[in-house]
Amino acid sequence: MNYPRTIVFLLTLLFFACQQKEKTSNIIKVDPEDNLEEIVRKSTLVVPSERQYDWQQLEFIAFLHFGPNTFTGVEWGTGMEDPAVFNPTDFDASQWVSVIKDGGMKLAMLTAKHHDGFCLWPTTTTNHSVKSSPWKNGNGDVLGELVEAARAEDIEIGVYLSPADLHEIERPNGTYGNGSEPKPVKIPSDPELQKTADRIFEYELDDYDALFMNQLYEVLTQYGPIEEVWFDGANPKPGTGQTYNREAWYDMIRKLQPGAVIAIKGPDVRWCGNEAGITRESEWSVLPVPEHPDNYDWPDLRQEDLGSREKLEGAEYLYWYPAETNTSIRHGWFYRDDEQYVKTVEELIDTWYRSVGGNTVFLLNLTPDRRGLIPEKDAARLREVGNIISASFEENLALNAEVEASDAETSSANILDENAETFWKPADGNEQAELVLTLDGEKEFNRLVLQECIKTRGQRIERFAFDIWDNGDWKEVADGTVVGYKNIRRFPMVNAGKVRLRILQSRVAPTIATFGLYKAPEILSNPSIYRNKECMVTIRCQTPDPVIHYTLDGSDPDAGSMVYGRPFELPDGGVVKAIAMIDNGAQKSEIVEERFDICPAGWTVEEVSAQHNSYPAINAIDGNPSTMWHTPWGDKAPGHPHSITIDFGETLALNGISYLPRTDGQLGGVCKHYKVEVSKNGTDWEPAREGVFDNIRNNPVKQEILFEKIIDARYLKFTSLSNVNGSETLSAAEFGVITR
């Protein structure tokens, strides 16, 4: 027997056996016999696909909602808009890209087609596009110009293509939901495009699917590399019977743009579950799935816990399905007017920390205006966001530290080599572990950045704590739950020469790929402005002892403006603008503003269809957004329609009214279809407006119902004809009037 050869053979066998056992993938099947421990072990073998990993590293990316809605001022168009409305006066894609770049964003994703069906590129599939608009005499191409400007600055490209298409629903002989049978269709279908096509696809498609796939084909073949394709789940007109051959869509995307992730209603990237920028404390990228993800029709995953050990129990498959946090810089996805709320730098940075530093990608929407430019106010804020973030992470103060690990299968020095693919890991089975870093001298810092090696080892850490060595003892300054791609902890500035990371719980054994300590500039908090039901305005600031200046005439406050001392009355409404200052104005906050209309102090509820004991109707006119009116629920509870009649106690000249949905993040009873009537005497009623709140399910922010003309009225009757869930209840946080 030849011993050395046999040994080599046996070792090779062993090597392959081990490799086999530890094979990683972005999808892993769970055996019905697997116990929880085995499922947890398998979950550590779930890693991102290459395209998912590339996408995750983009961190901060831009959405751009632009189209007919920009010009008509609505959130959802009807699909029957005249293409002539689309006519930006000063369109400049390079201005968009410069704002995106300065903001620190890495990709630009355009609504190439929103629900109204209007295409922002000159498509062959419909006349409902830029070709029929007066813009550039029908020779313009928004997507084309954006791509060109973005490539020049190394910004990647994403496309949003709404599967729901109101133009194809509403136009005579439209294809959407027309009941046509699927038949073999060549993509591209246009004979001219076929002549130059590298490849012609054939799928079984009905009329609308064929049109949609031709649109997809055009955007995927005419604009170079696309990194993300965004399929919205929203449909303003469900119930047409239209179905989609998603398998065909995904097949063609994979072949034409293998690097692109398919997001939201798609297999690679998941919607975070809300449009308000709310993030989870523990965001898992490894999720249990009941079916193979290729055949799975993804429901909206809105729950708080999607991937804890408890959720893994009983899983059929474990799948890498990371979250994207999507929200808009303004209230609403499209530009509406100059009064539309623009989020402050402080709010944007806070969302950035929670999303990028909370294991998600942050997709922030920008709203080009009717000129075709990102409004100056928004641009300035985004540039400030970019400056603050880059100043905060300029220098990793841990870089020259000496690292000691409680146990190391791979070197603990790997955490400081700035490479997210090399890592420290204790031996399997060590679910708890510690790292102590002796820094290169005393350092001052207020941020901790951790990354796991998700690329090859998946997501494992479940809980950790971070301590500094302080006067001869360890002192905890931060803690956290999951890490995944990145976790950033913020804490008040500390000084220390030695720090400790304690992994308190992990799956099998943790990994740390990078470890960073940073000193972010400390920023003075913005003041917040409240008005209570007695019409008293209070201005507060989290930073202790600032001087707050404010104005009531719409001008920007400065050091010469009124100084806020105590709450003041504002019964008739108006705009309050405030700024906080410390050190005699050496440090200033942003200017914040709050618009109020007439205060509800003297209003009463005259009549209400139904009210739950704990949620009386009076809560809807108490000026307090945290309380609400809710109708009773359960089998015997009264159903729709629901109504409330409010007596203002005086006649008001109404431009309209506002409805603030409940603010606790729940959707129960949120109104969809409404009717508003008004009256001078409480007996004779005049219809003022009936309609539906567009996109309120996904984005339940304050809704304004504007009347066609100003109406004098003392009484308001608001009727809900249906809610967003199609169930019988109604809820309302506040009703208000618009008299401006």
Footprint of ligand FUL on this chain (CB under 6 A)?
75, 232, 234, 326, 333, 695, 698
The DSSP result for 598-652, as a single string, is S-GGG-EEEEES--BTTB-GGGGGSS-TT--EE---STTS--S-EEEEEEEEEEE
**How far is the C-alpha of 73 from the C-alpha of 141, rounded, in Å?**
22
Q: How far is the CB of 332 from ligand FUL (least distance, A)?
A: 9
Q: How far is the CB of 236 from ligand FUL (least distance, A)?
A: 7
Burial of 616 from C-beta contacts in 10 A (0-12 / 13-18 / 19+): middle
| Short-list 154, 75, 74, 68, CA closest to 108 | 154
With respect to ligand FUL, which residue has the nearer C-beta, 331 or 588? 331
With respect to ligand FUL, which residue has the nearer C-beta, 75 or 168? 75
With respect to ligand FUL, which residue has the nearer C-beta, 151 or 697? 697
With respect to ligand FUL, which residue has the nearer C-beta, 518 or 693? 693
Q: How far is the CB of 368 from ligand FUL (least distance, A)?
A: 14
Determine the length of the chain: 740
With respect to ligand FUL, which residue has the nearer C-beta, 344 or 698? 698
**How far is the C-alpha of 452 from the C-alpha of 462, rounded, in Å?**
11
Q: How far is the CB of 119 from ligand FUL (least distance, A)?
A: 15
Please state, in angstroms and as integers, the Cα–Cα distance from residue 659 to each residue in 77, 277, 539, 638, 717, following that order.
21, 21, 24, 22, 12
Q: How far is the CB of 327 from ligand FUL (least distance, A)?
A: 9
Q: How far is the CB of 645 from ligand FUL (least distance, A)?
A: 32
Instruction: Count the alpha carbons within 13 Å of 696 in the hemisphere toward its beta carbon.
Output: 25
User: Do the Cβ atoms of 579 and 589 come closer than 8 Å?
Assistant: yes
Site of tokens 């510690």: 434
Q: How far is the CB of 550 from ligand FUL (least distance, A)?
A: 35
**How far is the C-alpha of 648 from the C-alpha of 330, rounded, in Å?**
31
Q: How far is the CB of 232 from ligand FUL (least distance, A)?
A: 5
With respect to ligand FUL, which residue has the nearer C-beta, 75 or 378? 75
Q: How far is the CB of 248 from ligand FUL (least distance, A)?
A: 23
The secondary structure element, H or E, covering residue 72 is: helix 68-72
Q: Can you name the residues that pair with 674 across neighbouring β-strands?
A: 691, 720
Residue 628: both structure tokens together: 């609400």
Site of tokens 């997501």: 459
**Phi, psi angles (nearest 5°) of residue 190:** -70, 125
With respect to ligand FUL, which residue has the nearer C-beta, 270 or 460? 270
| Short-list 64, 71, 79, CA closest to 236 | 79
Q: How far is the CB of 244 from ligand FUL (least distance, A)?
A: 16
DSSP code for 556: P
Q: How far is the CB of 312 from ligand FUL (least distance, A)?
A: 29
User: Do the Cβ atoms of 160 and 227 come closer than 8 Å?
Assistant: no
User: Do the Cβ atoms of 265 and 300 come closer than 8 Å?
Assistant: no
With respect to ligand FUL, which residue has the nearer C-beta, 341 or 491? 341
What are the contacts of 306-314 at 24+ separation with CB within 8 A? 306/280, 307/282, 308/282, 308/284, 309/36, 309/40, 309/462, 311/287, 312/36, 312/39, 312/40, 312/43, 312/288, 313/36, 313/39, 314/288
Q: How far is the CB of 697 from ligand FUL (least distance, A)?
A: 9
With respect to ligand FUL, which residue has the nearer C-beta, 53 or 212? 212
Residue nearest ligand FUL, CB atom distance: 234
∠ Cα 476 477 480 (to 5°): 95
With respect to ligand FUL, which residue has the nearer C-beta, 65 or 128? 65
Contact residues for 325 (Cβ-Cβ < 8 A; gap 6+): 272, 277, 279, 351, 354, 355, 358, 360, 361, 362, 363
With respect to ligand FUL, which residue has the nearer C-beta, 231 or 321? 231
With respect to ligand FUL, which residue has the nearer C-beta, 360 or 631? 360
Q: How far is the CB of 269 from ligand FUL (least distance, A)?
A: 13
With respect to ligand FUL, which residue has the nearer C-beta, 274 or 587? 274
**How far is the C-alpha of 43 from the C-alpha of 41, rounded, in Å?**
5
DSSP code for 298: P
DSSP code for 596: E
Please state, in angstroms and as integers, the Cα–Cα distance from residue 660 to each residue in 119, 596, 719, 735, following that order.
33, 14, 14, 6
Q: How far is the CB of 200 from ligand FUL (least distance, A)?
A: 32
With respect to ligand FUL, which residue has the nearer C-beta, 75 or 145? 75
With respect to ligand FUL, which residue has the nearer C-beta, 506 or 698? 698
Q: How far is the CB of 156 from ligand FUL (least distance, A)?
A: 18
User: In the chain, count of helices (H) and strands (E)?
Assistant: 14, 35
